Amino acid sequence: MFKIKIVLLVIILYSCNTSNQNRDESLLEIETKLKQSVEIFNKERTQTLVSPRSIENNSILMVPSKDWTSGFFPGELWIMYELTGDNYWKEIAIKYTLPLEQEKLNGKTHDMGFKMYCSYGRAWQNTNDPKYREILIQSAKTLAKRFQPNIGCIRSWDHNTDKWDYPVIIDNMMNLELLFWAANETGNKMYSDIAISHAKTTLKNHFRDDYSSYHVIDYNPETGEVQNKHTHQGYSHNSAWSRGQAWGLYGYTLVYRETKDPIFLQQAINIASYILNHPNLPKNLIPYWDFNAPNIPNEPYDVSAATVIGSALYELSEYTDEKEYLVIANKIFETLKSPEFLADPATNNGFLLKHSTGSMPHSSEIDVPLIYADYYFLEMMLRKTNLMKN
């Protein structure tokens, strides 16, 4: 009897050990770090301040569900669940996802995709629970109301009416994923028609000849004509704000995935070429906050731009024979894993990555951790893992 117990124990220990060995080393490292993040953020979370965003005055900035960044931390938890299958992650992911439900009716912003697709979208993909599906469909319905047919785009912001009449920002490309999902899920083409119109109009008006993009295009609400090409978070109206270039690359890659229309693939390739061949892109492939920032190389990085670019390149590598995209995405991932960028959350206010920049012109969130940098870093890990499986 005693012998049998010993044999059983050896078998159990051996199988635990091999399953850990099978887990990628990076995954184990990031999983351990994300557990620290959870412990730290759990202490900060309140009924109204539901998600971490960044740090402000040396303490953690928690935000309400209406903030555009509220979906990223729940999204990270769902990604970790998807990577590990461990119910520990699922349970926490649900806790951080549920407080966002009310956003499904918030029609005051275009940020619905960021908030709801990163959180509830991943909840649905990982559980197939119909209650998440309903919330997502309502979210898409609310977002679709911000589309104006004579302009062909979804309106981004309602603020700063002194500066613009109908602002559309390049970031808005990211919200199209929710609409494509809703079209596929419900069979209602209205959602994909809006997304395609938005992508085509943006392709026509947001880009310069070198495939860099403006940040804010202001349309005349009556005529649909472009009346201004501005920036809000970039160095100047004519500069290439790094995160904006990243949103464009990611956005056109996903629109190609959903439509298979080669004009969108070509646009993604052209944007990638602009970014990757830019003389101001550092050798470590982590962009400064704006490609035209005046004091390069003495400017803050924007690691969030690097993670969005890296994640997009993993996906783009699947649609072309160009091996370079995969090589570069892997290189970005390795750079981000180095101690210069990847922190111990216990010493980084709960966040994984350092050195992102939110908005330089507003002197806001400069060279700090940002939750969306962490989210797209985890998405890079997920995409890398999935590519290695295939």
Q: Which residues form the interface with ligand GLY (CB under 6 A)?
A: 68, 171, 233, 243
DSSP of 299-314: S-B-HHHHHHHHHHHH
Nearer to ligand GLY, 157 or 211 (CB): 157
Question: What is the C-alpha to C-alpha distance for residues 128 and 125, in angstroms, rounded to an integer?
Answer: 6
Task: Look up residue 115 and give its two tokens.
Answer: 């908030």
Beta bridge partners of 230: 216
Distance of CA 229 to the CA centre of its chain: 24
CB-closest chain residue to ligand GLY: 171
Least spacing, CB of residue 243 vs ligand GLY, in Å? 5
Q: Which of 111, 290, 302, 374 is catalytic?
A: 111
Backbone angles phi, psi at 267, to 5 degrees: -65, -45
**Structure-derived torsion over alpha carbons of residues 229, 235, 236, 240, reported in degrees to the nearest 10:** -50
- Smallest gap from residue 305 Cβ to ligand GLY (A): 9
Nearer to ligand GLY, 33 or 232 (CB): 232
Phi, psi at 311, each rounded to 5°: -65, -45
261 belongs to the catalytic site? no
Nearer to ligand GLY, 68 or 88 (CB): 68
Edge-to-edge strand order for the sheet containing 167-169? 167-169, 216-219, 226-230
- Please state the closest distance from residue 198 (CB atom) to ligand GLY, in A: 15
171 part of the active site: yes
d(C-alpha 295, C-alpha 138), whole Å: 46
Name residue 168's amino acid: V
Q: How far is the CB of 183 from ligand GLY (least distance, A)?
A: 23
Which residue among 171, 290, 302, 374 is the active-site one?
171
Please say which residue, 233 or 239, places its beta carbon nearer to ligand GLY: 233
Q: Which residues pair with 55 in a beta bridge?
A: 60
**Are 337 and 26 within 8 A, CB to CB?**
yes
Taking the least distance from each CB to ligand GLY, the nearer of 133 and 243 is 243
Q: How far is CA 299 from CA 76, 103, 218, 224, 296, in A?
A: 28, 36, 29, 37, 5
Neighbouring CB atoms inside 10 A of 193's CB total: 15
Closest distance of CB 19 from ligand GLY, Å: 38
CA distance between the termini of the chain: 45
Q: Who's near 59: CB < 8 A, 6+ residues apart?
A: 349
Which of 121/137 has CB closer to ligand GLY? Answer: 121
- Which of 163, 146, 164 shows the shortest CA–CA distance to 155? 146
- Please, what is the minimum distance in Å from the beta carbon of residue 115 to ligand GLY? 11
- What amino acid positions are annotated as catalytic residues? 111, 171
